[in-house]
Amino acid sequence: PAMAARLLLRAARPLLAGAGRGTGLGTALSTAPPPEKKRWLRAYLELQRLQAPPQRRSEQPNWDYHAEIQAFRHRVQENFSLDLLKTAFVNSCYIESEEARRRQLGLDKDAVALQLQDNTALAERGLRFARAYLAQCFEGAYPELPAKGIEALVNFLTSQELVSYVAQNLSIQDLTLCRDFPAPPDVLQRTFLAVIGALLESSGPERTGIFVRDFFIPQLIGKDLFEIWEVVNPMGLLVEELTKRNISAPEPRITRQLGVSTVLPVYFVGLYCDKKILAEGPGETLLAAEEEAARVALRKLYGYTENRRPWDYSKPKQGLAAEKAISSN
Protein backbone atom coordinates (compact mmCIF):
# COMPACT_ATOMS: atom_id res chain seq x y z
CA PRO A 1 0.00 0.00 0.00
CA ALA A 2 2.88 2.45 0.72
CA MET A 3 4.46 1.57 -2.65
CA ALA A 4 1.12 1.99 -4.33
CA ALA A 5 0.60 5.40 -2.70
CA ARG A 6 4.06 6.56 -3.84
CA LEU A 7 3.39 5.39 -7.39
CA LEU A 8 0.05 7.18 -7.37
CA LEU A 9 1.69 10.34 -6.13
CA ARG A 10 4.40 10.11 -8.76
CA ALA A 11 1.73 9.71 -11.42
CA ALA A 12 -0.36 12.57 -10.08
CA ARG A 13 2.42 15.18 -9.99
CA PRO A 14 3.20 15.29 -13.75
CA LEU A 15 -0.55 15.61 -14.43
CA LEU A 16 -0.80 18.60 -12.14
CA ALA A 17 2.33 20.14 -13.60
CA GLY A 18 0.93 19.58 -17.11
CA ALA A 19 -2.34 21.24 -16.19
CA GLY A 20 -0.45 24.12 -14.61
CA ARG A 21 1.67 24.58 -17.70
CA GLY A 22 -1.46 24.50 -19.87
CA THR A 23 -3.12 27.30 -17.91
CA GLY A 24 0.17 29.14 -17.55
CA LEU A 25 0.64 29.39 -21.30
CA GLY A 26 -2.69 31.18 -21.56
CA THR A 27 -1.51 34.09 -19.42
CA ALA A 28 1.36 36.38 -20.32
CA LEU A 29 4.76 34.76 -20.03
CA SER A 30 5.88 36.71 -17.05
CA THR A 31 7.84 34.02 -15.28
CA ALA A 32 11.55 33.74 -15.03
CA PRO A 33 13.08 30.43 -16.25
CA PRO A 34 12.53 27.71 -13.62
CA PRO A 35 15.25 27.65 -10.96
CA GLU A 36 18.03 25.21 -11.82
CA LYS A 37 18.94 22.43 -9.47
CA LYS A 38 22.63 22.13 -10.32
CA ARG A 39 24.64 24.41 -8.04
CA TRP A 40 27.36 25.13 -10.59
CA LEU A 41 24.82 25.97 -13.26
CA ARG A 42 23.01 28.35 -10.93
CA ALA A 43 26.19 30.33 -10.36
CA TYR A 44 26.85 30.61 -14.10
CA LEU A 45 23.29 31.69 -14.91
CA GLU A 46 23.38 34.30 -12.15
CA LEU A 47 26.57 35.70 -13.63
CA GLN A 48 24.96 35.83 -17.07
CA ARG A 49 21.93 37.62 -15.64
CA LEU A 50 24.10 40.23 -13.92
CA GLN A 51 26.25 40.86 -16.99
CA ALA A 52 23.32 41.20 -19.40
CA PRO A 53 22.99 44.75 -20.84
CA PRO A 54 20.19 46.85 -19.31
CA GLN A 55 16.95 46.70 -21.23
CA ARG A 56 14.15 49.21 -21.65
CA ARG A 57 11.30 48.80 -19.20
CA SER A 58 8.98 48.27 -22.16
CA GLU A 59 10.95 45.15 -23.13
CA GLN A 60 10.90 43.65 -19.66
CA PRO A 61 7.97 41.51 -18.50
CA ASN A 62 4.83 43.18 -17.15
CA TRP A 63 4.35 46.24 -19.30
CA ASP A 64 1.10 47.74 -20.54
CA TYR A 65 1.63 50.98 -22.44
CA HIS A 66 -1.94 52.22 -22.29
CA ALA A 67 -2.21 51.59 -18.54
CA GLU A 68 1.14 53.28 -17.94
CA ILE A 69 0.04 56.37 -19.84
CA GLN A 70 -3.17 56.54 -17.86
CA ALA A 71 -1.24 56.18 -14.62
CA PHE A 72 1.07 58.99 -15.75
CA ARG A 73 -1.96 61.17 -16.35
CA HIS A 74 -3.27 60.53 -12.86
CA ARG A 75 0.16 60.88 -11.26
CA VAL A 76 0.53 64.37 -12.65
CA GLN A 77 -3.15 65.13 -11.84
CA GLU A 78 -3.87 66.65 -15.23
CA ASN A 79 -6.45 65.83 -17.87
CA PHE A 80 -4.83 65.18 -21.20
CA SER A 81 -6.34 63.94 -24.37
CA LEU A 82 -4.66 60.55 -24.69
CA ASP A 83 -3.94 60.85 -28.41
CA LEU A 84 -2.00 64.06 -27.92
CA LEU A 85 -0.13 62.47 -25.07
CA LYS A 86 0.75 59.42 -27.13
CA THR A 87 2.04 61.61 -29.96
CA ALA A 88 4.04 63.59 -27.42
CA PHE A 89 6.04 60.50 -26.53
CA VAL A 90 6.94 59.58 -30.11
CA ASN A 91 10.34 60.80 -31.22
CA SER A 92 11.58 61.20 -34.75
CA CYS A 93 14.54 58.87 -34.17
CA TYR A 94 12.08 56.14 -33.20
CA ILE A 95 10.08 56.60 -36.40
CA GLU A 96 13.24 56.46 -38.50
CA SER A 97 14.54 53.35 -36.78
CA GLU A 98 11.18 51.60 -37.07
CA GLU A 99 10.93 52.40 -40.77
CA ALA A 100 14.47 51.21 -41.35
CA ARG A 101 13.70 47.98 -39.53
CA ARG A 102 10.55 47.42 -41.56
CA ARG A 103 12.41 48.10 -44.79
CA GLN A 104 15.02 45.59 -43.75
CA LEU A 105 12.34 42.99 -43.15
CA GLY A 106 11.24 43.59 -46.73
CA LEU A 107 7.71 44.99 -46.39
CA ASP A 108 5.90 47.08 -49.01
CA LYS A 109 6.21 50.84 -49.20
CA ASP A 110 2.72 51.24 -47.69
CA ALA A 111 3.46 49.04 -44.74
CA VAL A 112 6.79 50.78 -44.19
CA ALA A 113 5.29 54.24 -43.58
CA LEU A 114 4.13 54.41 -39.96
CA GLN A 115 0.93 56.15 -39.00
CA LEU A 116 2.61 58.00 -36.16
CA GLN A 117 3.23 61.72 -35.87
CA ASP A 118 6.29 63.38 -34.43
CA ASN A 119 6.48 65.30 -31.23
CA THR A 120 8.60 68.13 -32.64
CA ALA A 121 5.68 70.50 -33.20
CA LEU A 122 4.33 69.88 -29.69
CA ALA A 123 7.83 70.29 -28.26
CA GLU A 124 8.26 73.66 -29.93
CA ARG A 125 4.95 74.91 -28.64
CA GLY A 126 5.72 73.65 -25.17
CA LEU A 127 9.13 75.31 -25.16
CA ARG A 128 7.75 78.65 -26.30
CA PHE A 129 4.97 78.56 -23.76
CA ALA A 130 7.27 77.51 -20.92
CA ARG A 131 9.79 80.25 -21.68
CA ALA A 132 7.13 82.92 -22.01
CA TYR A 133 5.36 81.83 -18.85
CA LEU A 134 8.52 81.60 -16.77
CA ALA A 135 9.73 84.97 -18.04
CA GLN A 136 6.43 86.51 -17.03
CA CYS A 137 6.56 84.87 -13.63
CA PHE A 138 9.99 86.26 -12.94
CA GLU A 139 9.11 89.71 -14.23
CA GLY A 140 6.22 89.75 -11.82
CA ALA A 141 8.16 88.41 -8.87
CA TYR A 142 11.44 90.27 -9.30
CA PRO A 143 10.59 93.51 -11.09
CA GLU A 144 14.06 94.94 -10.56
CA LEU A 145 15.84 92.09 -12.31
CA PRO A 146 17.14 93.12 -15.78
CA ALA A 147 16.22 91.28 -18.95
CA LYS A 148 19.55 89.48 -19.12
CA GLY A 149 19.06 88.09 -15.63
CA ILE A 150 15.58 86.83 -16.43
CA GLU A 151 16.87 85.30 -19.64
CA ALA A 152 19.62 83.52 -17.70
CA LEU A 153 17.12 82.14 -15.18
CA VAL A 154 14.76 80.93 -17.91
CA ASN A 155 17.65 79.35 -19.83
CA PHE A 156 18.75 77.54 -16.71
CA LEU A 157 15.27 76.23 -16.04
CA THR A 158 14.79 74.97 -19.59
CA SER A 159 18.31 73.60 -19.89
CA GLN A 160 18.91 69.98 -20.81
CA GLU A 161 20.20 68.74 -17.44
CA LEU A 162 17.38 70.17 -15.40
CA VAL A 163 14.56 69.16 -17.70
CA SER A 164 15.95 65.66 -18.20
CA TYR A 165 16.35 65.31 -14.41
CA VAL A 166 12.72 66.27 -13.85
CA ALA A 167 11.64 63.96 -16.67
CA GLN A 168 13.59 61.03 -15.22
CA ASN A 169 11.91 61.42 -11.89
CA LEU A 170 8.50 61.47 -13.54
CA SER A 171 9.20 58.17 -15.32
CA ILE A 172 9.14 59.75 -18.77
CA GLN A 173 12.22 57.75 -19.72
CA ASP A 174 10.08 54.57 -19.56
CA LEU A 175 7.28 56.00 -21.67
CA THR A 176 9.30 57.62 -24.48
CA LEU A 177 9.68 55.79 -27.74
CA CYS A 178 13.18 56.44 -28.93
CA ARG A 179 15.98 54.64 -30.70
CA ASP A 180 18.70 54.54 -28.03
CA PHE A 181 18.56 53.19 -24.55
CA PRO A 182 19.03 54.85 -22.05
CA ALA A 183 17.38 57.88 -23.64
CA PRO A 184 19.83 60.79 -24.05
CA PRO A 185 19.02 63.98 -22.15
CA ASP A 186 18.04 66.03 -25.20
CA VAL A 187 15.43 63.40 -26.13
CA LEU A 188 14.04 63.55 -22.59
CA GLN A 189 13.97 67.33 -22.72
CA ARG A 190 12.14 67.30 -26.04
CA THR A 191 9.64 64.72 -24.76
CA PHE A 192 8.89 66.66 -21.59
CA LEU A 193 8.38 69.88 -23.53
CA ALA A 194 6.12 67.95 -25.91
CA VAL A 195 4.10 66.78 -22.89
CA ILE A 196 3.75 70.42 -21.87
CA GLY A 197 2.66 71.25 -25.41
CA ALA A 198 0.07 68.44 -25.34
CA LEU A 199 -1.25 69.75 -22.04
CA LEU A 200 -1.45 73.22 -23.55
CA GLU A 201 -3.56 71.91 -26.43
CA SER A 202 -5.80 69.83 -24.16
CA SER A 203 -6.39 71.97 -21.11
CA GLY A 204 -5.56 75.52 -22.06
CA PRO A 205 -2.87 77.95 -20.91
CA GLU A 206 -3.98 78.38 -17.30
CA ARG A 207 -3.63 74.76 -16.24
CA THR A 208 -0.41 74.46 -18.20
CA GLY A 209 0.91 77.53 -16.43
CA ILE A 210 0.18 75.96 -13.06
CA PHE A 211 1.86 72.74 -14.23
CA VAL A 212 5.01 74.57 -15.36
CA ARG A 213 5.08 76.53 -12.11
CA ASP A 214 4.72 73.41 -9.98
CA PHE A 215 7.47 71.45 -11.68
CA PHE A 216 10.07 74.03 -12.69
CA ILE A 217 10.13 76.71 -10.04
CA PRO A 218 10.96 74.39 -7.10
CA GLN A 219 14.22 73.63 -8.91
CA LEU A 220 15.35 77.15 -7.98
CA ILE A 221 15.18 76.45 -4.25
CA GLY A 222 18.58 76.78 -2.64
CA LYS A 223 20.18 78.23 -5.76
CA ASP A 224 21.93 81.57 -5.71
CA LEU A 225 21.35 84.13 -8.47
CA PHE A 226 24.98 84.33 -9.54
CA GLU A 227 25.35 80.57 -9.70
CA ILE A 228 22.82 80.63 -12.51
CA TRP A 229 23.67 83.98 -14.11
CA GLU A 230 27.32 84.42 -15.06
CA VAL A 231 28.28 88.02 -14.46
CA VAL A 232 31.81 88.93 -15.50
CA ASN A 233 32.01 92.45 -14.11
CA PRO A 234 29.65 92.88 -11.15
CA MET A 235 31.15 96.24 -10.22
CA GLY A 236 30.36 97.75 -13.62
CA LEU A 237 26.83 96.36 -13.52
CA LEU A 238 26.36 97.79 -10.04
CA VAL A 239 27.52 101.23 -11.16
CA GLU A 240 25.04 101.09 -14.06
CA GLU A 241 22.20 100.12 -11.75
CA LEU A 242 23.01 102.89 -9.31
CA THR A 243 23.18 105.53 -12.04
CA LYS A 244 19.75 104.34 -13.21
CA ARG A 245 18.43 105.04 -9.74
CA ASN A 246 20.33 108.33 -9.42
CA ILE A 247 22.51 107.22 -6.56
CA SER A 248 26.15 108.23 -6.53
CA ALA A 249 28.90 105.77 -7.33
CA PRO A 250 29.85 103.33 -4.57
CA GLU A 251 32.97 103.89 -2.57
CA PRO A 252 34.70 100.74 -1.33
CA ARG A 253 36.27 100.77 2.13
CA ILE A 254 37.81 97.97 4.15
CA THR A 255 35.45 97.25 7.02
CA ARG A 256 37.22 94.41 8.73
CA GLN A 257 40.33 92.44 8.08
CA LEU A 258 41.77 89.34 9.67
CA GLY A 259 45.07 87.64 9.20
CA VAL A 260 46.57 90.14 6.78
CA SER A 261 50.07 88.79 6.98
CA THR A 262 49.07 85.11 6.89
CA VAL A 263 48.39 82.71 4.06
CA LEU A 264 44.61 82.98 4.42
CA PRO A 265 43.62 86.60 4.97
CA VAL A 266 39.98 87.64 5.14
CA TYR A 267 38.95 91.12 4.11
CA PHE A 268 35.45 92.51 4.49
CA VAL A 269 34.95 95.35 2.01
CA GLY A 270 31.93 97.59 2.39
CA LEU A 271 30.44 99.70 -0.40
CA TYR A 272 29.29 103.12 0.74
CA CYS A 273 27.08 105.55 -1.22
CA ASP A 274 27.04 109.05 0.27
CA LYS A 275 28.62 107.61 3.40
CA LYS A 276 25.71 105.17 3.85
CA ILE A 277 26.43 101.46 3.72
CA LEU A 278 25.10 99.58 0.70
CA ALA A 279 26.55 96.10 1.08
CA GLU A 280 29.46 94.29 2.61
CA GLY A 281 31.23 91.25 1.26
CA PRO A 282 34.11 89.02 2.33
CA GLY A 283 37.00 87.78 0.22
CA GLU A 284 40.53 86.41 0.31
CA THR A 285 42.19 89.37 -1.40
CA LEU A 286 41.00 92.96 -1.55
CA LEU A 287 39.88 92.64 -5.18
CA ALA A 288 37.95 89.46 -4.48
CA ALA A 289 36.29 91.08 -1.49
CA GLU A 290 35.30 94.10 -3.52
CA GLU A 291 33.78 91.91 -6.23
CA GLU A 292 31.89 89.89 -3.64
CA ALA A 293 30.58 93.11 -2.06
CA ALA A 294 29.38 94.23 -5.49
CA ARG A 295 27.57 90.91 -5.95
CA VAL A 296 25.93 91.22 -2.53
CA ALA A 297 24.80 94.74 -3.42
CA LEU A 298 23.33 93.50 -6.73
CA ARG A 299 21.47 90.73 -4.95
CA LYS A 300 19.99 93.26 -2.55
CA LEU A 301 19.00 95.59 -5.37
CA TYR A 302 17.34 92.85 -7.41
CA GLY A 303 15.56 91.41 -4.42
CA TYR A 304 17.08 87.92 -4.84
CA THR A 305 18.63 87.63 -1.36
CA GLU A 306 18.52 84.46 0.67
CA ASN A 307 16.00 85.89 3.10
CA ARG A 308 13.45 86.97 0.48
CA ARG A 309 9.86 85.79 0.67
CA PRO A 310 9.52 82.24 -0.71
CA TRP A 311 7.63 81.74 -3.97
CA ASP A 312 3.87 82.14 -3.76
CA TYR A 313 2.23 78.94 -5.01
CA SER A 314 -1.25 79.66 -3.73
CA LYS A 315 -3.22 81.63 -6.22
CA PRO A 316 -3.12 81.04 -9.97
CA LYS A 317 -2.41 84.25 -11.83
CA GLN A 318 -5.53 85.28 -13.70
CA GLY A 319 -4.11 87.98 -15.88
CA LEU A 320 -1.78 85.65 -17.72
CA ALA A 321 -4.44 83.66 -19.53
CA ALA A 322 -5.29 86.23 -22.19
CA GLU A 323 -1.67 87.15 -22.78
CA LYS A 324 -0.65 83.55 -23.08
CA ALA A 325 -3.39 82.88 -25.60
CA ILE A 326 -2.16 85.78 -27.68
CA SER A 327 1.54 85.02 -27.39
CA SER A 328 1.37 81.29 -28.06
CA ASN A 329 -0.67 81.83 -31.23
Answer yes or no whether residue 41 interacts with other proteins by CB under 8 A: no
Between CA 213 and CA 150 the distance in angstroms is 15
By C-beta, is 65 or 244 nearer to other proteins? 65
The DSSP secondary-structure symbol of 282 reads E
Q: Smallest distance, Å, CB 142 to other proteins?
A: 20
Between CA 142 and CA 22 the distance in angstroms is 68
CB 227 within 8 A of CB 159: no
CB 17 within 8 A of CB 34: no
Answer yes or no whether residue 270 interacts with other proteins by CB under 8 A: yes
Answer yes or no whether residue 53 interacts with other proteins by CB under 8 A: no
Between CA 169 and CA 76 the distance in angstroms is 12
Answer yes or no whether residue 79 interacts with other proteins by CB under 8 A: no
Which residue type sits at 43?
A: A
Answer yes or no whether residue 170 interacts with other proteins by CB under 8 A: yes
Answer yes or no whether residue 182 interacts with other proteins by CB under 8 A: no
Q: Which of 254, 287, 322, 325 binds other proteins (CB under 8 A)?
A: 254
Three-class DSSP labels, 221-275: CCCCHHHHCCCCCHHHHHHHHHHHCCCCCCEEEEEEEECCCCCCCEEEEEEEECC
Between CA 167 and CA 173 the distance in angstroms is 7
CB 190 within 8 A of CB 167: no
Number of chain residues interacting with other proteins (CB under 8 A): 41
Q: Which of 8, 12, 28, 100 binds other proteins (CB under 8 A)?
A: 28
With CA atoms as reference, report the closest residue to 87 among 58, 119, 126.
119
The window from 41-49, 59-67, 90-98, 287-295 that contacts other proteins (CB under 8 A) reads: 59-67
Q: Smallest distance, Å, CB 38 to other proteins?
A: 17
The window from 43-51, 98-106, 264-272, 284-292 that contacts other proteins (CB under 8 A) reads: 264-272
Answer yes or no whether residue 253 interacts with other proteins by CB under 8 A: yes
For other proteins, the binding residues in 299-318 under the rule CB under 8 A are 307
**Which residues are near other proteins by CB under 8 A?**
16-17, 20-21, 23-24, 27-28, 30-31, 34-35, 61-62, 64, 67-68, 70-72, 74-77, 169-171, 174, 214, 221-222, 253-258, 266, 268, 270, 307
